[in-house]
Amino acid sequence: MSTQPFIASTLSEGETILKKRFADLGYLFIKNGVAAEHCQSLLDDVLAELSPHVEWSPDRLLPTLKGEPFYETDPLFDEIYPEIQALESFHQFFHHESVHQLMQITSGENPFVYPMKMARISTPKKLGYETPPHQDAHSHQAPESMCGIWVALHEVTENMGRLMVLPKSHKRGIRPVHQAQGVGGVQCEIYDDETLWHTGNVEQGDVILFHACCVHKAEPNRSEDVVRLSVDTRFCPYGEPLFTSNLYPHHGLRIPKLDWNYIYKNWASPAHQFYWKDYPDLHGPDDSQWIALAASK
C-alpha cells in the first residue's frame, strides 16, 4: 500500500469543478469548509462530557488522554457516549447553514440530513481497533445517492488516526464484506490493483465529503496521548430511499437508554426534533424487529 496527499478543494473553485472532481475521485477534501469557531464551540461541549477521561491541552491545543484508553463499545464508551449524543449543539452542528451549503455540492438544493449523527473518539493505545476499510452504502443500507460528511474538530496530524480514502473506488459498486475487528465490525473487499490511498494532515474545520461507495478507513492512533475527535453524518437528496435503521441515534440499538427522548430531554429548541417524521420514502423493519436484531448481536 502507498499513500499520497488528499487532493484539496476550495469552495471558491465553484460548483461545476467540485461536482466533476467528486464524480471522478469519489470524495472532496475541502479546506476550511466549516468555520474554526463553529468547530471549537462543539469541541468544547464534547470535551466537557469526556472529562476527566479526556482533557484539552492548552499548550498543545489538542485533546489528551488522562485515563485508560477505550474503544467504541467499551463499557466506558457506553457510559460517556449518551451524554455526547444528548448535546443539542452536536446535532444542530449538521443543520448549520455552512454545513448545509457543503451538502448541496453533491445533493442539490434540498439535502436531507440523516438523523443518525456520529461522534468519533479515537484514543491511543488501542491499535487494531480502528475503523477498517468499508463503504457506507453497505453499513447504512443506502443507495449511491447518499453521501457522508466528516469534519475535523481540531488539527489531526500523522499518528493521530487520520482518515484515509481509496480514490475512484466508488466506480466499482458495492463490494463483498467479511467480519473484521474495529469500528463497524466489517471490512469490504480491496482489489489487488487498489494500492494507492489518499490521506493527509487536516486542520480544524477541514471537511471530507465522500460517495456512498467510496472505500475509506482510519489509520491507527499511534500517538502517545492525543485523542482524535471528529464528527460525521450521512445525507442525501430529499426524497431518496432511506432505511429506517438510520432513524435511530448512533448506538441507540445497543445502549438501552440511548433513545431520542433521552437525547431531547434538555434541548432548548424543538426545531430539529423528529424532523424526519414525514419523510416520504422509508424502508426497513419496524422497531420491534430492530430491537430484537440488536439484542441478538
Domain of residue 74, CATH code: 2.60.120.620
Q: How many CA atoms lie within 13 A of 276 on its CB side?
A: 23
Where are any strands of DSSP class E within the chain? 2-5, 8-9, 27-30, 54-57, 62-65, 111-122, 147-152, 163-165, 177-179, 186-188, 196-199, 207-211, 216-218, 228-237, 242-243, 282-283
The whole-model pTM stands at 0.93
Burial class, 169, CB count within 10 angstroms (exposed 0-12 / middle 13-18 / buried 19+): buried
Number of domains observed in the structure of the chain: 1
- pLDDT in tens for each of the 297 residues of the chain? 899 999 999 999 999 999 999 999 999 999 999 999 999 999 999 999 999 999 999 999 999 999 999 999 999 999 999 999 999 999 999 999 999 999 999 999 999 999 999 999 999 999 988 999 999 999 999 999 999 999 999 999 999 999 999 999 999 999 999 998 888 888 999 999 999 999 999 999 999 999 999 999 999 999 999 999 999 999 999 999 999 999 999 999 999 999 999 999 999 999 999 999 899 988 876 554 433 433 333
Give yes or no for a contact between 57 and 221, defined as CB atoms under 8 angstroms apart.
no
Range of the domain at 162: 2-296
